Amino acid sequence: MSNNLPPQIAERAAQWTKAPFDEATRQEVTEMLQNDPTSVTDAFYRDLEFGTGGLRGIMGAGTNRMNIYTVGMATQGLANYLLKNYGPKRQISAVISFDSRNNNTLFANTVAGVLSANGIKVFIFDDIRPTPELSFAIRYLKCQTGIMITASHNPKEYNGYKVYWEDGAQIIDPHDKGIIGEVRAIKHVDEVKIAINPKLVETIGAEIDDAYLCMVSSLSIRPDLIKKHHNLKIVYTPIHGTGTRIAPMALKKFGFDNIITVEKQMVPDGNFPTVHSPNPEEPAALKMAIEKAKATGASLVMATDPDADRVGIAIPDNKGDFILLNGNQTAAILQNYIITQRKAKGDLTGKEYIVKTIVTTELLADMAHAEGIPCYDVLTGFKYIAGMIRSLEGKQTYLFGGEESYGYLIGDAVRDKDAVSACCMIAETAAWAADQGLTMFDILQQIYKKYGLYLEGLISITRMGKTGAEEIAAMMDMYRHTPPKTIDGAQVLIMKDYKLKKSTNFLTGEVSAIDLPISDVLQFFTTDGSKITIRPSGTEPKIKFYFGVKGVSGSSDLTTAENELRLKIESIKNDMGLIK
């Protein structure tokens, strides 16, 4: 079978059947060569790409897979960059955390071994911890870097490796390019230092938990409301992830003492046995939690993903039926609460600002501008929100940041999306609503009536393997070089190409520069106010299409207006050939 493989792929695979690779790896590759040439191609046609956030891929043997060898080589590249950047005279330190995925401790210990072998001090958590706690720990321990072993909300076959810098944020320019260069310079596993130095490895746990939870509890704006509504019934599920212990602890420290958990999903398990996908964006992932809420009379459901940086919520509508809010709606409710309550307390100084990503609802910008608060757009990815926080530190005051993919950050002690603190603030918002005799659904309706009804949609198209990557690239080329003139009957007014860093007005012919980093993203704005964004995922084999449409403010019949906007989104999808 291996004779049918391209020579370069066959040669690369053959190397993995010999020393220095371990016996299990050799056997796995040998069996692939004998029985499954397609798997060999996908596992060896390239090196697993170390992107601007780190590694993410399917676990298994091969250069294009997550395993101790690809993790080790990436870590050696990171170590080389740290040593060059900080110099040999300084004691460099790193924090390592991991979520509940399979091979979590194997990969975390591999990272610890390589870093310590390179003379770098390592703090490693004693058990699973959320991504936001890792971000907090980097700043708390004054480390130069941090590594989180996670594939976020990806299916169980995946694992990943996210790199953070000394500010607690995921790496961005220039460090991302510098680390990538060093990782690519490692050509063979023999270049990896693996002789662990146990004197440089320290286990951490409870002290960081306590400091992190104290920080989270300090974010409360209206503890008086929580005291009045401390028995608010809240159903929470970590979907077998890192939130299992820390999120209920945070909610209780905030002041809520009626936390109802989904017991079957409170067990950390990398196979995620109760769900098809551990993604709180998917309705099926919240099914058990909603059933628990109905059975117990709870008024709020919250679910965090495996590394507890994203949170999805469900609330009763005006008929008492539970509905799932999308990430834009939750962000709007949170932002509305934070602004109105800080304004009521007189906490706003005029120097505050909001940050959102370019694919997130324009509702956040409209709400901020109505209060005279600047709202900055950044590229997709929370690291860019963190980058904005860093650039404005000491000049303006960060108030809130959010993205449509269920990520939010309150306060700036953490520099990544934080589902733990978001859960606490969502619960506080529910207490505020209850204090007015309202529901979270009522609050959302109030926002829509004041600012206009916004509705968003998303289509993700998955294309696996080498041919899939080529197909996604071809789709981007088509939209870039032959952009649509109309979308659903409305003329395309503006096209923004973030890869070429230019914005083109098709009516006037004016071309202006986009002052953001280069990114393979296209946006089309139509004359009827619709916004369509197209971008390949940076972490998954997908191309994503985001749709945003807006109705008028002040509408009394929001249900009819929402149905009209939903039909409009479907019409846009159909016009773009995305519905078959």
Report the Cα 140 to chain-centroid distance in Å.
Answer: 22
* C-alpha–C-alpha distance, residues 555 and 553, integer Å: 6
Give CA torsion, residues 515, 521, 524, 529, to 10 deg: -70
* C-alpha–C-alpha distance, residues 195 and 96, integer Å: 18
Give yes or no for a contact between 149 and 129, defined as CB atoms under 8 angstroms apart: no
CB atoms within 10 A of CB 395: 8
Give yes or no for a contact between 366 and 335, defined as CB atoms under 8 angstroms apart: no
Check the CA dihedral 52-325-550-338 and report its sign.
negative
Q: In sequence order, which ranges of 298-352 are alpha helices (DSSP H)?
A: 327-344
CB burial of 399-426 (b: ≥16 within 10 Å; e: otherwise) equals bbbbbbbbbbbbebbbbbbbbbbbbbbb
Take residue 484 and report the two structure tokens written for it.
Answer: 């649509």
Take residue 472 and report the two structure tokens written for it.
Answer: 């996604």
Q: Which among 47, 57, 54 has a CA at the least distance from the CA of 75? A: 54
Residue 504, strand partner residues: 495, 511
Give yes or no for a contact between 572 and 564, defined as CB atoms under 8 angstroms apart: no
Residues in the chain: 580
* CA distance readout (Å), 481 to 6, 315, 474, 485: 32, 43, 11, 12
* C-alpha–C-alpha distance, residues 53 and 173, integer Å: 11
* C-alpha–C-alpha distance, residues 99 and 154, integer Å: 12
C-alpha angle with apex 456: 450 to 460, nearest 5 degrees? Answer: 165
Instruction: Answer yes or no: 519 catalytic.
Output: no
Give yes or no for a contact between 265 and 296, defined as CB atoms under 8 angstroms apart: no
Q: How many CA atoms lie within 13 A of 73 on its CB side?
A: 24
Take residue 287 and report the two structure tokens written for it.
Answer: 């099914």
Take residue 392 and report the two structure tokens written for it.
Answer: 């404005």
Residue 49 is given by DSSP the state P
C-alpha angle with apex 22: 16 to 24, nearest 5 degrees? Answer: 90
Give yes or no for a contact between 359 and 402, defined as CB atoms under 8 angstroms apart: no
List, in order, residues 6 or more apart from 391 with CB less than 8 Å away. Answer: none
Q: How many CA atoms lie within 13 A of 580 on its CB side?
A: 2
Of the candidates 39, 100, 116, 152, the residue annotated as catalytic is 152
Q: How many CA atoms lie within 13 A of 463 on its CB side?
A: 15
490 phi and psi, to 5 degrees? -100, 140
Give yes or no for a contact between 408 and 302, defined as CB atoms under 8 angstroms apart: no
Q: Which residues are catalytic?
A: 152
